[in-house]
A and B are shown apart, each in its own frame.
Chain A
Amino acid sequence: MAQLADNVLSIVSMHAEPNSPQLSSAPVLQLVNHEKSEEITLVEAARNGDRAAFTKLYERYARMVHGIVLARAPRTEADDLVQDVFFFAWRKIHTVRDAAAFGGWIGMIARNRAMDYHRQKHETEELTANMADTIAEKPAPTAEAMAVLEAIKSLSEAYRETLILRLVEGMTGLEIAARTGLTPESVRVNLHRGMKMLRERLEGQTA
């Protein structure tokens, strides 16, 4: 906890421009501390069977889980896999010993579930009229968007996950660090290097 706060402070001070007035670290720290202590309370309540607390955790972590799953599994399966991850987490929530590490724990479940998806044999099901209508509601992604997503997915694991969380899910670097359990420094490096590699891949595609 204290380490996370120190990391946040270091990032905040690192990004403060020399000529601009120094950013006040107190609100950021307060926010991080408050959110973390609230999260610990939620995890402890969920361990005792509190559904409402677990639903709040779901609302807080669903984006991150979606991003992790999307980095590994087909986009059409991502929503189902997110539900699957949280079902599994609900059944196994009593095994979480360190409530502060919930983010890392559910992130690991999401990675394992996405890997399991590729290992399992998937049966195909014929579309019913109702299902076809539901799918038709979602517009098909453009070829350009698909190409960018595939380019991100072709990067190494650390970069693709961080880039998807930032570019697809719209999370900030600090949010990614706080949710995944990575240090802000690692996230910053992954974002920077990942963007550089992505640009190279996209330039290679257009050339």
Chain B
Amino acid sequence: MNDKYLWDKSGEPDDEIRQLEALLREFSYQPCPLALPIELPKRIIFQYAPVRYAALAAMVLLAVGLGFWLALRQPLNKPELAGKGNAATPTPTIFPQAIERQQEPEEPEQKLVRHNLRPQTQTRYVRAAHKRVHKKSLEKQEEEAGEKVLYALQLTSDKLNLITRKIQTDVN
């Protein structure tokens, strides 16, 4: 067998190989035009995996964000949580303590009511604020009482000094 002829059809032709070629020629490829479908191949926008993953992550984040936003907003819009107002027109829950503080413009606790919070959260928030206010007023009263006690002690000591001086002069 002529290896050179088998490799690239060059050199002395090999009779056996030529015979096989002649026999098998009828099975060879007959050129015919390629009829491609009309639609274009998919564009390469989403060819790369990172772009796909980034788009997917953005969609997931958007969905989660939307879910949270709806979850925070929905309870305030429900009629049974809307307080004593008209059930058809939901109103935010306002606590009396909060209203009182709203009427005092100089107090910083005025902004305690947050309409975008859940009622439970609002209650906790208001209670905590109450405690803070109560503590502050207690501190003031204590200070005043302390001052009064000091003043009383000072008066008592002055009076005692005066009495002592008078006794000494009487003895002399």
Confirm or deny: A172 has a beta carbon within 8 angstroms of a beta carbon on chain B.
yes
Per-residue CB proximity of A133-158 to B under 8 Å, as 1/0?
Answer: 00000010110110011000000000
| Complex CA distance for A191 and B23, rounded to whole angstroms | 18
The reply to whether the CB of B7 lies closer than 8 angstroms to some CB of chain A is: yes
Question: Is A119 interfacial (CB 8 A cutoff)?
Answer: no
Q: How far is the CB of A103 from chain B (nearest CB, A)?
A: 16
B54: chain A residues at CB < 8 Å are: none
Nearest B residue (CB) for A173: B7
Interface membership of B32, Cβ < 8 A? yes
Contact B34 A83 (CB under 8 A): yes
Interface set, chain A 103-133, CB cutoff 8 A to B: none
Bound state CA distance, A51 and B33, in angstroms? 12
Contact A79 B47 (CB under 8 A): no
Which residues from chain B contact A144 at a C-beta distance below 8 Å? 23
**Interface majority SS (helix, strand, loop, mixed), chain A:** helix
What number of B residues sit within 8 Å (CB to CB) of A?
31
Closest to B21 in A: A167
Known interface pairs A66-B29, A87-B37, A170-B21; A94-B43 also in contact (CB < 8 Å): yes
Q: Are A94 and B36 in contact (CB under 8 A)?
A: no
Inter-chain contacts of A15 with B (CB < 8 A): 4, 7-8
> Are B6 and A195 within 8 A (Cβ)?
yes
Q: Can you list 11 pairs linking A and B with CB atoms under 8 Å apart?
A: A11-B7, A46-B41, A47-B41, A49-B41, A62-B31, A67-B29, A83-B34, A91-B42, A145-B23, A188-B3, A188-B7
What is A's interface to B at a CB cutoff of 8 Å? Answer: 11, 15, 46-47, 49, 51, 54-55, 58-59, 62-63, 66-67, 70, 75, 78-79, 82-83, 86-87, 90-95, 139, 141-142, 144-145, 148-149, 164, 166-170, 172-174, 188, 191-192, 195-196, 198-199
Which B residues fall within an 8 A CB radius of A? 1, 3-4, 6-9, 16-17, 20-21, 23-32, 34-37, 40-44, 47
